[in-house]
């Protein structure tokens, strides 16, 4: 970059000196040399043999400096394309996430310090991509639909503050709440209010809870005060794991599986404790899976109910969960999450279908494993 | 004055009519006093007779699935049967829990 600027500065200096010399011989030629491209060639020939006005060496200097500037500019452009090692690492990760097939050599080439190698590898990847577009075994490239990595909710970072302050700052949304990237719209019922993922994250942080990258927001009933840390709310989460297969839901069978599993891996948000039984057994109506779990909290004899309703979509599921409700409020808890799940809808083309889509990501679990927390 | 009252009543009625049944139920549950859940029900001779305690008593010691009237499901070893409660021993990953269900809430008990 520095070399390019110096070369350009020297070129400018040569041009000005050249114009001054020609101007002294003829004002018209000076003006034309300054304004008309390549007129300096005519001036050079015209004053070739005049010791006071010839510009041979100026033209030579101009050409040399222009050449150096061009070379430096090419390198700057190449450096900009190749980027820093961190940028190249991010590029490799992004290509992997997009499903671009890369050999270990190509990955090594992309991470190389030699810009020429990086450029050559990038070009070879382009060639592979073009070839693959015609082939039947081409990897899925639609990042919107086929990206296997969970789509993290990109929100501005939340600052840490007291719970009361976080609750005071929260904005309550009513009506339809749409997430364009996911293609989901939640028609928030009249008596409920939705707060965004950013506000929800602030509230979670204020309570010392870990960040939930799947969080889309909270929904709270209008009669409950958000400033009350014990007030219940519905957590809304997005799982971009792909199409989820339906499965038979025999409650006793599901419970047997769930209780036999000594290392449960819940995908939905749950209270910290052991599953005791289903306060309300899982049921699936073709679009919404809902159930309520009774749990015994860890290191305690306290029983709580966690209610879940999951709205299925073509490339993932939207989860509505209330955790830690008193068992006596199971009906309220379950009715609420089910109502919200039925009020969620996916945009055309992103809706759930019973048959597995021909293309696209498929979740490594079924609706049954969501309810049993099996791996 | 009557017209005003009639309009107000009509507005309330229309609002209630337009509300989703689930929303209405949520309102009802939010405003209703909390219902005691797992506390044993008062002894009721007719209920106890309907629940046929003998059939459940024959399953004591066996692994059973208990279905409740609210679509609840619990699986465990039936350890005790009384007129008021069924008691299950449920094995959790970290401990064993004794869990009592009011007989009035039990819809069915089946051996596993």
What does the pLDDT profile of chain A (375 residues) look like in tens digits?
788 889 889 988 988 998 998 888 888 888 888 888 888 888 888 888 888 888 888 899 989 998 998 888 877 766 666 667 777 777 777 777 666 667 777 777 877 777 778 778 777 775 444 444 344 444 444 444 544 555 555 555 556 678 888 888 888 988 899 988 889 999 999 899 999 998 898 888 888 888 888 999 999 999 898 888 888 999 999 999 999 998 888 988 999 999 888 889 999 999 999 999 999 999 999 999 999 999 999 888 899 999 999 999 998 999 999 999 999 999 999 999 999 999 999 999 899 998 888 888 899 999 999 999 988
- Checking if the pLDDT of B4 tops 90, the result is no
Instruction: Mark whether A70 and A180 lie in a shared domain.
Output: no
- Checking if the pLDDT of B71 tops 50, the result is yes
User: What pLDDT, on a 0 to 100 scale, did the predictor assign at position A126?
Assistant: 57
Yes or no: say if A203 and A217 are a contact pair by the CB < 8 Å rule: no
Chain B partners within 8 Å of A261 (Cβ): 93
> Is residue A150 a part of any domain in this protein?
no
Yes or no: say if A188 and A175 are a contact pair by the CB < 8 Å rule: yes
The residue ranking higher by pLDDT, B89 or A90, is: B89
> Is residue A143 a part of any domain in this protein?
no
Contact check, Cβ <8 Å, A252/B110: yes
Distance CA A10, CA A12 (A): 5
Instruction: Mark whether A187 and A68 lie in a shared domain.
Output: no
Distance CA A195, CA A203 (A): 10
- Checking if the pLDDT of B51 tops 90, the result is no
Distance CA A71, CA A113 (A): 20
Residue that finishes a domain, picked among A47, A82, A117 = A82
Instruction: Mark whether A6 and A111 lie in a shared domain.
Output: no
Which two three-digit tokens encode residue A49? Answer: 């043999």
Residues of A with CB under 8 A from a CB of B: 189-191, 221, 223, 251-252, 255-256, 259, 261-264, 274-281, 283, 294, 296, 298, 303, 326-332, 335-336, 338-339, 342
How near does any CA of chain B get to the CA of A174, in Å? 15
Contact check, Cβ <8 Å, A296/B91: no
User: What pLDDT, on a 0 to 100 scale, did the predictor assign at position B2?
Assistant: 61
Residue A83 burial (CB < 10 Å; 0-12/13-18/19+)? middle
CA dihedral A164, A166, A172, A177 (to 10 degrees): -150
> Is residue A42 a part of any domain in this protein?
yes
B43 at the A interface (CB within 8 A)?
Answer: no
Instruction: Mark whether A254 and A243 lie in a shared domain.
Output: yes
Best probe of the B interface among A188, A283, A331, by most B CBs < 10 A, is: A331
Instruction: Mark whether A247 and A312 lie in a shared domain.
Output: yes
- Burial code (b: 16+ CB inside 10 Å, e: under 16) for A88-107 equals beebbeebeebbbebeeebb
> Is residue A142 a part of any domain in this protein?
no
Number of residues in chain A: 375
> Is residue A268 a part of any domain in this protein?
yes
Instruction: Mark whether A358 and A223 lie in a shared domain.
Output: yes
| Residue range B54-65: mean pLDDT, rounded | 86
Instruction: Mark whether A337 and A214 lie in a shared domain.
Output: yes
Q: What is the domain extent for residue A10?
A: 2-82
Q: Which of residues 48-107 of B touch A (CB under 8 A)?
A: 65, 67, 70-75, 90-95, 97, 99
Instruction: Mark whether A116 and A241 lie in a shared domain.
Output: no
> Is residue A146 a part of any domain in this protein?
no
Instruction: Mark whether A196 and A322 lie in a shared domain.
Output: yes
DSSP state of B83: S
Chain A partners within 8 Å of B22 (Cβ): 335, 338-339, 342
ipTM, two decimals: 0.73
Residue that finishes a domain, picked among A134, A154, A173 = A134
Residues 6+ apart with CB under 8 A from A366: A244, A245, A246, A247
Q: Which residue of chain B is at minimal alpha-carbon distance from A295?
A: B92
Residue A347 burial (CB < 10 Å; 0-12/13-18/19+)? middle
Instruction: Mark whether A93 and A184 lie in a shared domain.
Output: no
Query: In total, how many domains does chain A have?
Result: 3
User: What pLDDT, on a 0 to 100 scale, did the predictor assign at position B43?
Assistant: 47
> Phi first, then psi: what are they for A233, rounded to 5°?
-150, 165
User: What pLDDT, on a 0 to 100 scale, did the predictor assign at position A53?
Assistant: 84
Instruction: Mark whether A70 and A97 lie in a shared domain.
Output: no
**Which domain CATH number covers A172?**
2.60.120.1690
pTM: 0.62
Handedness of CA A94, A97, A100, A103 (dihedral sign): positive
- Checking if the pLDDT of B1 tops 80, the result is no
Of A261, A264, A335, the CB nearest to B26: A335
> Is residue A206 a part of any domain in this protein?
yes
Instruction: Mark whether A208 and A345 lie in a shared domain.
Output: yes
> Is residue A221 a part of any domain in this protein?
yes
Of B38, B75, B90, the CB nearest to A252: B75
């Amino acid at each position: 970059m520095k070399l390019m600027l110096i070369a350009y500065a020297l070129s400018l200096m040569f041009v000005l000196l050249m114009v001054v010399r020609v101007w002294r011989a003829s004002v018209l030629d000076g003006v034309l040399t300054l304004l008309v491209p390549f007129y300096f060639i005519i001036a050079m020939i015209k004053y070739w043999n005049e010791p006071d006005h010839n510009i041979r060496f100026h033209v030579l200097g101009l050409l040399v400096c222009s050449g150096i500037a061009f070379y430096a500019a090419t390198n700057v452009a190449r450096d900009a394309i190749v980027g820093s090692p961190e940028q190249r690492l991010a590029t490799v990760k992004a290509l992997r996430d997009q499903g671009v097939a890369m050999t270990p050599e190509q990955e090594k080439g992309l991470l190389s310090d030699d810009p020429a190698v990086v450029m050559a590898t990038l070009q070879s990847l382009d060639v592979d991509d073009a070839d693959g577009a015609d082939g039947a075994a081409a990897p899925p490239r639609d990042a919107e639909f086929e990206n296997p990595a969970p789509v993290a909710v990109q929100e501005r970072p939340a600052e840490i503050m007291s719970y009361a302050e976080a609750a005071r700052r929260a904005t309550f949304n009513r009506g339809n709440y749409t997430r364009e990237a996911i293609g989901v719209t939640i028609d928030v019922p009249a008596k409920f209010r939705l707060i965004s993922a950013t506000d929800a994250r602030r509230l979670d942080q204020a309570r010392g809870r870990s960040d939930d990258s799947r969080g889309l927001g909270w929904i709270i009933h209008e009669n409950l005060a958000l400033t009350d840390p014990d007030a219940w709310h519905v957590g809304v989460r997005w799982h971009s794991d792909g199409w989820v297969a339906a499965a038979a839901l025999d409650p006793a069978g599901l419970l047997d599986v769930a209780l036999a599993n000594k290392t449960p891996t819940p995908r939905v948000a749950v209270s910290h404790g052991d599953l005791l039984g289903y306060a309300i057994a899982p049921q699936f109506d073709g679009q919404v899976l809902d159930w309520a779990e009774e749990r015994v909290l860890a290191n305690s004899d306290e029983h709580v109910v966690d209610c879940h309703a999951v709205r299925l979509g073509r490339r993932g599921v939207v989860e509505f969960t209330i955790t830690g409700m008193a068992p006596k409020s199971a009906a309220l808890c379950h009715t609420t999450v089910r109502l919200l799940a039925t009020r969620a809808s996916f945009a055309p083309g992103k809706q759930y279908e019973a048959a597995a889509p021909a293309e696209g990501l498929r979740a490594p679990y079924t609706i049954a494993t969501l309810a049993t927390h099996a791996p | 004055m009557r017209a005003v009252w009639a309009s107000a009543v009509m507005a309330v009625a229309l609002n209630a009519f337009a509300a989703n049944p689930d929303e209405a139920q949520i309102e009802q549950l939010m405003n209703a006093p909390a219902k005691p859940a797992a506390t044993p029900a008062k002894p009721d001779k007719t209920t106890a007779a309907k629940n046929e305690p003998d059939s459940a008593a024959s399953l004591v010691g066996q692994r059973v699935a208990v279905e409740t009237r609210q679509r609840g499901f619990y699986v465990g070893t039936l350890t005790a049967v009384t007129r008021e409660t069924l008691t299950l021993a449920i094995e959790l990953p970290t401990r064993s829990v004794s869990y009592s269900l009011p007989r009035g809430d039990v819809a069915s008990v089946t051996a596993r």
